[in-house]
Amino acid sequence: MVSTIRTITFDCRDAYALSKFWEQVTGYTEDPDDPNQPEHEENFIGPAANAQGLLFINVPEEKTIKNRLHLDMTPDIPRDEEVERLVGIGATVVADHRTDDGKGWVVLADPEGNEFCILRSKAERAAAGDPY
C-alpha cells in the first residue's frame, strides 16, 4: 500500500496573488467549478479539475528561512529565456548555478520568497546528450 501526493501546498500571506503568479509559471488553471477569489483562504490550481496540483493557503506568519522542499521546473523553452520570463512576472534570482558548458540551473524565488529551480529544457538536455 502507498500514499499518493494530492497537492503541493504553499503557506503564504496572499494565497490568491501567489496562485496567479504560479498559474503563469506552470500553465495550471483554477477549477472552473470553484474559481479562486481574493477573499478565499485557499486557492487551488492544477492541470485539470480534481487533479494533483498546487494549493495556496493563507497563513499569518511571513516566510523566514530557506525552503526545505522546492520544485525543480523543466521549461518548454530554453532555460535562459524562461528565467528572463519569470523574472519579468515577479520572480527574483536567488542563485545562478549555470556553467560555461551550458549545464546548471537557476534558483528563483516567487513573490513571497519560496525558492524553486529552473533547469535546462528537454531540448537543451537532448542536444547536449545529457538525460538530466
- pLDDT range class, residue 21, cuts 50, 70, 90: very high
- Whether residues 33 and 78 fall in one domain: no
- Whether residues 96 and 73 fall in one domain: yes
Q: Please tell me the predicted confidence (pLDDT) of residue 66.
A: 87
Assign residue 13 the CATH number of its domain.
3.30.720
**Three cell numbers at 127?**
542536444
- Whether residues 130 and 106 fall in one domain: yes
Nearest alpha-carbon partner for 108 in 16, 40, 9, 22 = 22
pTM (2 d.p.): 0.92
Residue 76 is given by DSSP the state: S
Range of the domain at 97: 63-132
- Whether residues 77 and 87 fall in one domain: yes
- pLDDT range class, residue 107, cuts 50, 70, 90: very high
